[in-house]
Amino acid sequence: MQMIYNSPAYCVVEFHDESGGRGGFEILDKMARREIFIAGALARRFRKNVSELIAADPTIEEVDDFLSEFDGLMQQPVSMH
């Protein structure tokens, strides 16, 4: 696993599958304390969109706006252990 983004509002961690390939992404909304894990086709589309976004040299606010598109999908509450 590798943290690929961390802001005051969001954190994104990339997970690799057991063979070392791409497994998926965990997107955490820190303010709402909710998260989602995406894999498969959605993860591939996410990776493509992130690559395009990064190529435009975005601000933190622009990246956070992009990640906020996933807020409605985040159903898993985050709990501290």
Domain boundaries, the chain: 2-77
| DSSP 8-state code for residue 74 | -
What span, in angstroms and rounded, lies between the C-alpha atoms of 50 and 44? 10
Q: Global pTM?
A: 0.85
Each residue of 10-48: b (16+ CB within 10 Å) or e?
A: bbbbbeeeeeeeebbbbbbbeeeebbbbbeeeebeebbe
pLDDT, tens digit (0-9, with 9 covering 90-100), for 28-81: 999 999 999 999 999 999 999 999 999 999 999 999 999 999 998 898 888 765
pLDDT, tens digit (0-9, with 9 covering 90-100), for 7-33: 999 999 999 877 666 689 999 999 999
